Structure 1
Amino acid sequence: MSRACLVLPPRSRFAGESLPVVVARALGRADASQGQAGVESLFDVLPRGWPAAAVTRQVDAGDAANALWLRADPAYVRPDINGARLLAVGEMLALDAAEADALLRPLRPLFGDSGMPIDAGRPSAWYLRLPIGAPVPTLASPDEALGADLFDLLPSGAEGRRWRALLSEAQVLLHQNPLNAERQARGLAPINSVWFWGAGTLPDRIGSEWRVVLSPDETVHAFAKAAGANALALDAWNTPTDAAAYDLRHERRLDRLGQRWLEPALADLAAGKIAALRLVWGDGHIHELRKSQSLRFWRRPLRALAERDDG
């Protein structure tokens, strides 16, 4: 029989909100534990880590072996009184291949002269290729960096100054590119920066207990493909026929999360259509649910996600 995993936002996102009755009852009776958070929990990566740039590069171009990769994705930042905030990156900018090539043309000498050639695996995914062992920054993913001040997220120290300088020079070259005036005339955001993230080399192995992974994130799709899983777009709950994981990290509303995902999944669990349901919250909290837990009638419902529920 199939089973399912829902990868969810941190519980703090919904602090103070009342849970739907059926969800509150099920979570009150579930087994709770603490473990790895986020979509990383879906994959067994060796060596340990989350080398997003190398894994997506292998899917995009098939040449990720024997190099260290860093994403340098096209980005839109808006200056404010305190700095410059990252407002859009990668696929959010709707670039085509011709636009990507025009924007990359002046950047190639900048990064090439620094020993890290830049190119596009896809119009929305730009890559820096470095020698294995070269020092690279550990930076937030676009999801984590959106809305933040870019320079607050860049590393400090001598190596940090190098990357800050490269970023500043790239921003000047992109700001001067005439393509941005054309994009703005069409009502599109300019590409006036890059965002460095996802450094790493191609893993020796990527595995997963989940045979189907549904996500809106192309990076998650790349890891799923590397693990031999079927990578699908996220749509709506359908009773899975295999071990299936659903990436719901971006959900902002508890009512919609309950109606579209939690309640239908719990209904399938109660009906015996799935054998088990795992909820992985973004703070690393895990709920394991099975039909037999309905016999735990003495356990009170979980009133809210901030309530203690580990016993």
Structure 2
Amino acid sequence: MTPNVTTLHLIIPDFFAYAVRSDSSLRLDTLATWLPKSLITPLPYSATANQLFWQLFNFPIETHLPVAPITYLHDYGTVQKDTTYLRADPVYLQADRDKLILFDVFSTHPPSTTETDALLNSLNTFYQPDGLQFYAATPNRWYIRLTQTPALNTTPLLDVIGRDIQAFMPTGTDKRQWCAILNEIQMLLHQHLVNQSRTEQRQPLINSLWFWGLGKLPPPPAPRWQYVWSNDPFVRGLATLSTVSQADVPNSIQSCIQQMTQQTGEYLLNLTPTQETDGSTRLTQIDKEWLLPLYQAVKQGKIQQIHLYFCDERVFSLNRQQIKHWWKWRKPWQTYAQTHFAQLPVSRLD
């Protein structure tokens, strides 16, 4: 990075896919101005958000990321040395003829604290002779701590939601053992009092766990960031590992801009394209309340450069000189969504 320069890396995972799904005719005026003036560069690594974050924190490319120890570090503030961690998140499996479709219970009816405690107590009692212990940092982030690392390849939960689990079951030398454990867990949860109560209340069952993110905590990477804003536990864990100053995403971009004008360096801001509000409302809010002030900050020279990522193998880079390119006319964001971005499967958006 050039000395005495302030650069912002702005990551909004799957923004265009959500926009297409929410309202394909939606007007996003800032993007219509921003994107045509940007330098579009292909990225040499995976389009997934976690892979992008991993690379941005100066880690080498890996097929299977150790997400579990990273998020565990964020949740608990520390990890045990030489301990392997595995995410074991609660899910709902629904039979559909000869398929088992996985659904994320957290987005609709997350387990309460009482339900979580009851399920964990049963799991830990059952698996105590085997030395397995389950932890729940939040209702949707559960863990298993292991003294040895099994030869196991897993698939991130987000990639399986809404799909038949058969093609995404664990692979590797130890897959038989862990598939057997998963079957035991499903039988235990199926008859649990928590699920009997959920059946009576017509809520989705918590009838399985999903194993993913296996690994040990890696050594800290080379420092890069002046500051990180994110609500994503993986990003926050990476920042903790890197000993980088960090915070939740603020309510307004103005506080971020003010901080960036006080000290040069590289900054990372991770926005979420959807919240509890209507999808179109949230996307319009990002365009007007976040992207527009950032565009103006570059135009005024407060920020020298912004790299905008949508986690689809490209980055849109914008600086003050490019903003002066008056001959590059506005184009609707739909042009870039259709040209540069593949729409996500419906299951990724529900």
Greater per-residue helix proportion: 2
Residues 232-272 of structure 1: CA distance to partner in whole angstroms, max 9, x if unpaired? 04645335123341233558655454334333322332233
- Tell me: CA distance 1:270–1:120, structure 2 relative to 1, closer, same or farther (3 Å): same
CA distance in 2, matches of 1:120, 1:294: 48
Residues 264-287 of structure 1: CA distance to partner in whole angstroms, max 9, x if unpaired? 322332233433221012112001
Task: Establish whether residue 274 from structure 1 lines up as the match of residue 306 from structure 2.
Answer: no
CA distance in 1, matches of 2:73, 2:322: 43
Q: 2:169 — aligned with what?
A: 154
Question: What does residue range 1-311 of structure 1 map to in structure 2 within 5 Å?
Answer: 2-10=6-14, 13=17, 20-35=28-43, 36=45, 37=47, 38-42=49-53, 43-44=56-57, 46=59, 49=62, 50-61=65-76, 62-89=78-105, 93-108=109-124, 111-112=127-128, 116-140=132-156, 142-156=157-171, 159-185=174-200, 188-206=203-221, 207-215=223-231, 217-227=232-242, 228-233=244-249, 235-240=251-256, 241-242=259-260, 243-248=267-272, 250=274, 253=280, 255-303=284-332, 304-305=335-336, 306-307=338-339
AA aligned opposite 1:269:
V
- On the 8 A contact 2:10/2:270 being kept in 1, the answer is yes
Normalising by structure 1, we get a TM-score of 0.81
- On the 8 A contact 2:30/2:288 being kept in 1, the answer is no
Alpha-carbon offset, residue 208 of structure 1: 4.2
CA distance in 1, matches of 2:272, 2:84: 30
Residues 47-97 of structure 1: CA distance to partner in whole angstroms, max 9, x if unpaired? 654311112223334233211111111222322234222222568654344
AA aligned opposite 2:319:
R
- On the 8 A contact 1:236/1:261 being kept in 2, the answer is yes
How much identity, in percent, do the aligned residues show?
25
Residues 188-225 of structure 1: CA distance to partner in whole angstroms, max 9, x if unpaired? 5432110111111011014442502222x333322223
CA distance in 2, matches of 1:183, 1:246: 35
- On the 8 A contact 1:74/1:194 being kept in 2, the answer is yes
Alpha-carbon offset, residue 22 of structure 1: 4.1
- On the 8 A contact 2:228/2:268 being kept in 1, the answer is yes
- On the 8 A contact 1:224/1:231 being kept in 2, the answer is no
- On the 8 A contact 2:152/2:173 being kept in 1, the answer is no
**Runs of 5+ consecutive residues of structure 1 not aligned to the other structure:** none
